[in-house]
Amino acid sequence: MTTNTLEYLQALEGRCQLSDTEQAQFNQITKGQEGETLLATALDNVPDINYIADLQLGEKYHETQIDFVVLTPQSIFLIENKHYQSSYQFTDGHLYSRNHKRVDNPFLQMHDARECFMHHFPELSHQFKIMSILTFSHPQFSLRGDLSAQGTYFLPNEFHQFKHLFSYGKTPKLLFIKKQILSKNTNLEEKYMTVKRRPLHEVASGIKCPHCKKIILECGTDISSSNYIVCSYCHSSLKKSALIYAALKDLYLIKGEPITSREARHWIGDVGISRHSIYTILKKNFKSKGDKFYIHYFL
């Protein structure tokens, strides 16, 4: 498992004060994911749709990330989604926000992504039309000016038209092509992680409540089940095994390297969770390497 910026920042959340740069990155990434979730919901309403989300292609001088790839009998659509909010004006090849901030023309980014896709899959360009589409997913987005000369785009109130473009993609041939495309999917996020990794001593250890994001200093046992504990802050009843796994995953993400059982016990701390419980979670949910006296665990 490689670490992307969002996973790393989520692991830090509640364990330290995020810097202004980290918080800005966190807000930007979560906003982008919100838009992709809205678009995925619209795509999922299309009958027999066949698509790939977050395709990442890596090769020297030919790296790209494509939000969605939709396969249909005649065409392969490469979708770039923007989750811009409020009113934008298109003028002289650029988008300008309401406060006059200039945004680079997204169609140029889409052109580069299309060229990269065709480099990786030249045979598909002989079988299908490779088409780029720009979508704007935020319900409060509005556009002044005409982008149609730049390429195809859809506003949020036009997503219902997807059913006329993207249906009938689940043929045996297209499902096989989807597997071919996914075979080249890679993870570029570790390579381009945009925040500096913090030393462990700057980060609070322990198990973290998924609701209030606070480190649980004392585990109160749920009287209905010994498999649950109660957060000492928000009093949520939480499954013990899920809490331990989440805490150990945080340790692995923050450290950026495989962890040992000793590090795992030190990280969980003295909150009434046994060594056996920690070891069981490591053995069940993590991969391992090394001999029995010095085992490292990783995801």
Residue ranges per structural domain of the chain: 17-182, 200-298
Beta-bridge partner residues of 80: 134
Question: What 3-state DSSP class applies to 142?
Answer: strand
Class of domain 17-182: alpha beta
pLDDT of 275 over the 50 cut? yes
pTM beyond 0.85: the answer is no
Residue partners of 294: CB distance under 8 A and separation at least 6: 260
Say which residue the tokens 């494509």 belong to. Answer: 66
What angle do the packed helices 261-268 and 240-255 form, to 10 degrees? 110
**How far is the CA of 261 from the CAs of 200, 219, 273, 278, in angstroms?**
16, 21, 14, 8
Helix, coil or strand: residue 220 = strand
Cα–Cα distance, 79 to 130 (Å, whole number): 11
| pLDDT tops 90 at residue 82 | yes
Polymer length of the chain: 299
From residue 131, alpha-carbon distances to 79, 109, 111, 226, 267 in Å are: 9, 13, 10, 55, 49
The number of beta carbons lying within 10 Å of the beta carbon of residue 289 is 10
* Encoded tokens for 286: 């993590």
Burial 136-150, CB ≥16 within 10 A → b, else e: bbbeebbeeeebeeb
pLDDT for 126-150, tens place per residue?
Answer: 999 999 999 999 999 999 988 888 8
The 10s digit of each residue's pLDDT in 86-134 is 999 998 888 899 888 898 889 888 999 999 999 999 999 999 999 999 9
Closest CA to 30 of 61, 4, 55: 4
Share of the chain above pLDDT 70, in %: 94
Q: How confident is the model at residue 192 (pLDDT cuts 50, 70, 90)?
A: low
